[in-house]
Amino acid sequence: MNIGIIGAGHIGGTTAKLFVDAGHDVAISNSRGPETLRDLVAELGPKARAVTPEEAARFGEVVLLAIPLKDYTTLPVDELRGKIVIDAMNYYPNRDGRYESIDSGRSTSSELVASHLGGARVVKAFNTIWFEHLKTKGNKNAPIDQRRVIFVSGDDAEAKGVVARLIEEIGFGPYDLGSLRDSAEQQPDADVYNKDITVAAARAIAPR
């Protein structure tokens, strides 16, 4: 599968390696230009390339967003239309500023992003796991229930299924929390946020 990544920080860079190691082709981008990613791409090997955000969006059948939420309006809307888009972003008011719609509960951050990206198939995932755990906690040999959990929310069942399979391919266990509205349960300070638990344990704190 072709996977685009917009944002080359801790989560973007780590998922790029995991996806390449699982056999996927990756195009990764950041706000500073492809030339600044030369060392990362060299480390990732021939299945990775450095591109612009627009090119990453065009390249990916699935596109992962790993930039600060405050920058979501810079995303390439036209290129992401119709794509499965993984929202790995988190709302941190001290960094991002205040969003009244999120603070009041009228919208989740992922609903805000989905509204901006009209036509994109947005799935919330990879936002509740520390990047060091993402690097080290995957276990492709363990049964799904015994793997470190990665939570998933979204309104498109088929898109969630694709994301869940990617999560399994890199050695983690997906756990579906429900709709994008339910992705509020994945936000910082929520019960499941940054919890180092298995899929089986997740059922006890986030029953479906």
Nearest to 65 by CA among 53, 47, 55: 53
CATH for the stretch 2-205: 3.40.50.720
Q: How much is the pLDDT for 208?
A: 66
CA nearest to 175, candidates 103, 195, 44: 195
Supply the DSSP string of 127-196, one letter for each residue: SSS-HHHHHH---TTS-GGGSBEEEEEES-HHHHHHHHHHHHHTT-EEEEEESTGGGGGGSTTSTTTT--
Distance, CA of 157 to chain centre: 16
Name every residue whose Cβ is closer than 8 Å to that of residue 22 and which is 6 or more positions away in sequence. 166, 169, 170
CA–CA separation, 129 and 134 (whole Å): 7
User: Distances in Å between the alpha carbon of 95 and those of 55, 76, 98, 176, 189?
Assistant: 27, 22, 9, 28, 16
Tell me the backbone φ, ψ of residue 206, rounded to 5 degrees: -140, 65
Domain boundaries, the chain: 2-205
Find out whether 91 and 69 touch, Cβ atoms under 8 Å: yes
pLDDT at 206: 76
Q: Tell me what pLDDT residue 205 has.
A: 83
Which pLDDT value is given to residue 176?
96
Kindly tell me the number of DSSP H helices and DSSP E strands found in the chain. Answer: 10, 8
Question: Which residues of the chain are modeled with pLDDT < 70?
Answer: 207-208
Pairing of strands 121-124, 149-154: antiparallel
